[in-house]
Amino acid sequence: MIEITDLVKTFHQGSVNEVLALSGISLQVRKGDFITVIGSNGAGKSTLLNCLAGSYPIDSGHILIEDQDVSRWPEYKRATQISRVFQDPLLGTCGPLSIEQNLALANRRGKYHGLKRGVQRSDRELFRNQLSQLNLELESRLKDSVGLLSGGQRQALTLLMATLVKPKILLLDEHTAALDPKTALQVLKLTQQLIDDQHLTTLMVTHNMRQALQLGNRLIMLHAGRVILDVSGEEKAAMTVEDLLEQFYKVRGEEFVSDRMLLV
């Protein structure tokens, strides 16, 4: 249902700093696929997500969402169909606004909202229900400004906002990497829960090999702007961290040895 064909993206084209970040990526994402995306620094993972979301224009190729070619759609238009959560908890929410105002904004995504302003009473009930599943007791703090929340609370709220109106695709770019290990685990569990409940089609970038294997039904590895591994189902389930490291080694050789400790 999401078809990516021959996606090419170059930065600083024609200059000495030219970088070919995506070198003809093709990927068919099925409805309900939860794909973990791995690859070393500079492999093109964030660029792929940015190109899908429309943050960067592409040089060539096509992106189809449910048979609709969105390749030339501006970012704001794609945001009606695509949700994102970044590494930085500050990016997905608006600090000076209250929790309920943030949720109200998220609830309007892709909807015609006419003259309706502010937070409706009927919305509050929905927000309380949704917030209670986070187990962070935020349901009693609807009027608190988001700037008061901890990084983990804020990232959990961002996830909720990203999925309040079901997106056609959810893009997660190392969204737990900036959190302490315990909070990261909680946010990861919440991620899994939201994805399961709504059968969300998801691409999740991570540097954690174990996580990449444990989560999702499919795993892709990028290297130098290409997909060099694409496994799903039983094949993925049978893979070990060592298998993945071996793949890294094959493409990166000696250079990879120094990174090895960072990857596990």
Site size for Mg ion (CB under 5 A)? 2
Token pair for 143: 């009027």
Binding flag, residue 134, ligand ATP (CB under 6 A):
no
Contacts with 135 (C-beta within 8 Å, 6 or more apart), sequence order:
none
Q: Are strands 202-205 and 169-173 parallel, antiparallel or unpaired?
A: parallel
Binding flag, residue 256, ligand ATP (CB under 6 A):
no
Q: Minimum Å distance from CB 130 to ligand ATP?
A: 30
Partnered with residue 186 across adjacent β-strands are: none
> Residue from 36, 40, 46, 176 that binds Mg ion (CB under 5 A)?
46
Helix axes 99-107, 151-164, angle to 10 degrees: 30
SS3 192: helix
- Contact predicate 78/141, CB 8 Å: no
Binding flag, residue 41, ligand ATP (CB under 6 A):
yes
Contacted entry of ligand ATP, Mg ion, none for residue 170, CB cut-off 5 to 8 Å set by kind = none
Q: Segment contacting ligand ATP (CB under 6 A): 39-47, 72-80, 138-146, 255-263?
A: 39-47
Q: Which is nearer to Mg ion, 145 or 211 (CB)?
A: 211
Q: Segment contacting Mg ion (CB under 5 A): 5-13, 42-50, 182-190, 229-237?
A: 42-50
Binding flag, residue 19, ligand ATP (CB under 6 A):
yes
Q: Segment contacting Mg ion (CB under 5 A): 45-53, 115-123, 155-163, 255-263?
A: 45-53
Binding flag, residue 43, ligand ATP (CB under 6 A):
yes
Site size for ligand ATP (CB under 6 A)? 11
Q: Which is nearer to Mg ion, 52 or 131 (CB)?
A: 52
Q: Segment contacting ligand ATP (CB under 6 A): 38-46, 114-122, 132-140, 187-195?
A: 38-46
> Residue from 42, 59, 80, 126 that binds ligand ATP (CB under 6 A)?
42
Sheet holding 82-85, edge to edge: 82-85, 169-173, 202-205, 34-38, 218-223, 226-232
Q: Judging by beta carbons within 10 Å of its beta carbon (0-12, 13-18, 19+), is residue 145 exposed, middle or buried?
A: middle
Q: Minimum Å distance from CB 206 to ligand ATP?
A: 10
Binding flag, residue 54, ligand ATP (CB under 6 A):
no
Token pair for 41: 């620094």
- Contact predicate 217/36, CB 8 Å: no
Question: For tokens 């970044």, what's the residue?
Answer: 86
- Contact predicate 251/263, CB 8 Å: no
Question: For tokens 């993206």, what's the residue?
Answer: 9
> Residue from 4, 35, 45, 152 that binds ligand ATP (CB under 6 A)?
45
Q: Which is nearer to ligand ATP, 19 or 241 (CB)?
A: 19
Binding flag, residue 44, ligand ATP (CB under 6 A):
yes
Token pair for 245: 């490291």
Return the closest-CA partner of residue 92 out of 208, 210, 176, 198: 176
SS3 239: coil
Interface with ligand ATP by CB under 6 A: which residues? 11, 19, 21, 39, 41-47
Interface with Mg ion by CB under 5 A: which residues? 45-46
